Amino acid sequence: MDWNSFSFIDLFAGIGGIRHGYEAEGPTCVFSSEIDERARDAYEANFGERPHGDITKIDAGAIPDFDILLAGFPCQAFSIIGKREGFANETCGTLFFDIERILKEKRPKAFMLENVRNLTAHDGGGTFSTIQKHLSALGYTVGAKILNALDFGVPQKRERIIIVGFLDPVNFRFPDPLPERKRLSLNDILEKDPPRKYFVRPAIREARLRRLKNPDYPRPYISHENIGGSVTPHPYSSALRAGASANYILINDERRPTERELLRLQGFPDTFKIVVPYSQLRKQCGNSVTVPVIRAVAGNMLEALRKFEANDSRFPY
């Protein structure tokens, strides 16, 4: 097949971070799904189509044929019923079930899944092992690696596991980190004159500065408050979180990041349209993927698939 014009589906699509990463390779999205209405608003504004809703209610057979399945799926705890093994028991009640049933029905050439780093540790590693086992049982060669957004050009420390699978014996390698010179700094992504509405009250600022581990830390920095109340500055953001408090991260302990800065921390282009309130955008960015990480994985996946189709076993990296 022609891997210069392939198709994909975008499950648990959020605001389209995975789609942004893959569309750089020139494919066509033939189906998307997202249950959150405000995320669907943002997706529709930016891609011109409204994702389908709850994937658990969508018949896999009704989904158009496609070449690659993409999903940044939520990971609920696996429900193991008794000591019996099997598909229904091991995946009951989880959204991974829906990925599995679509893969089983549609048999795409490849898939890429994204999840939190702690997926590998959940239930003593049992959850991740079960996921790998079920994907392999469908005939896919499965690989996984934890990638950090800091290594791919954005000033955000965000570690996520990427799981890829191929029906054919494709020679795939995960992407290498970008050289330091190609990575954006905080100076590159911060707005020069943000409105006053993003600045915190003096009492909040003073309380943060009293607990700042290094008061002489060079600006610009982003600090976050850990569970023990300590405030630590870094030349990058800690991982954006959907459910974090409004002041979880502060720039120079003075202000919250703007909507555009939050999107830039996730690698979204400045052409991305903002159509939801600040609180929703902050939640959406916390739930999103980091676009440059996905773009790097997409590039390597497509290179590997093209090499395989060309029967070229040399695959130089």
CATH topology of domain 7-181+287-309: Rossmann fold (3.40.50)
| pLDDT score recorded for residue 312 | 59
**C-alpha angle 298/300/306, rounded to 5°?**
100
Highest-scoring range by mean pLDDT, 85-89, 115-119, 124-128, 221-225: 221-225
Tell me the per-residue pLDDT of 36-45, one tens digit each, with 9 for 90 and over: 999 999 999 9
pLDDT single digits (tens) 117-176 = 888 887 788 888 989 999 999 999 999 999 999 999 999 999 999 999 999 999 999 999
Question: Annotated active-site positions, please?
Answer: 75
pLDDT tens, 93-107? 478 889 999 999 999
CA angle 59, 62, 67 (to 5 degrees): 110
Whether 280 has a pLDDT exceeding 80, the answer reads yes
CA atoms of 50 and 30, how far apart (whole Å):
12
Specify the domain boundaries for CATH 3.40.50.150 within the chain.
7-181+287-309
DSSP 193: S
> Which is it for strands 141-148 and 159-166: parallel, antiparallel or unpaired?
antiparallel
Neighbours of 46 (CB within 10 A): 19
Helices (H) and strands (E) in the chain, counts: 10, 9
Strand-pair partners of 142: 165
Model pLDDT, residue 83: 35
Phi, psi of 224 (to 5 degrees): -135, 150
pLDDT at 198 over 50: yes
Calculate the average pLDDT of the chain: 90
- Asked, as a colleague might, if the bond just before 220 is cis with ω within 30 of 0, I would say yes
Summarize the confidence of residues 246-256 as an average pLDDT.
94
Of the listed ranges 50-64, 71-85, 131-145, the one predicted with least confidence: 71-85
Q: What confidence tier does 85 reach under pLDDT thresholds 50, 70, 90?
A: very low
**pLDDT for residue 182:** 95
Whether 33 contacts 12, CB under 8 Å: yes
d(CA 132, CA 180): 33
Q: State in Å, rounded, how far the first CA of the chain is from the last one.
A: 23
Confidence of residue 212 (pLDDT cuts 50, 70, 90): very high
The rounded distance, in Å, linking the Cα atoms of 4 and 7 is 10
Instruction: Give the helix/strand (H/E) hosting 12.
Output: none
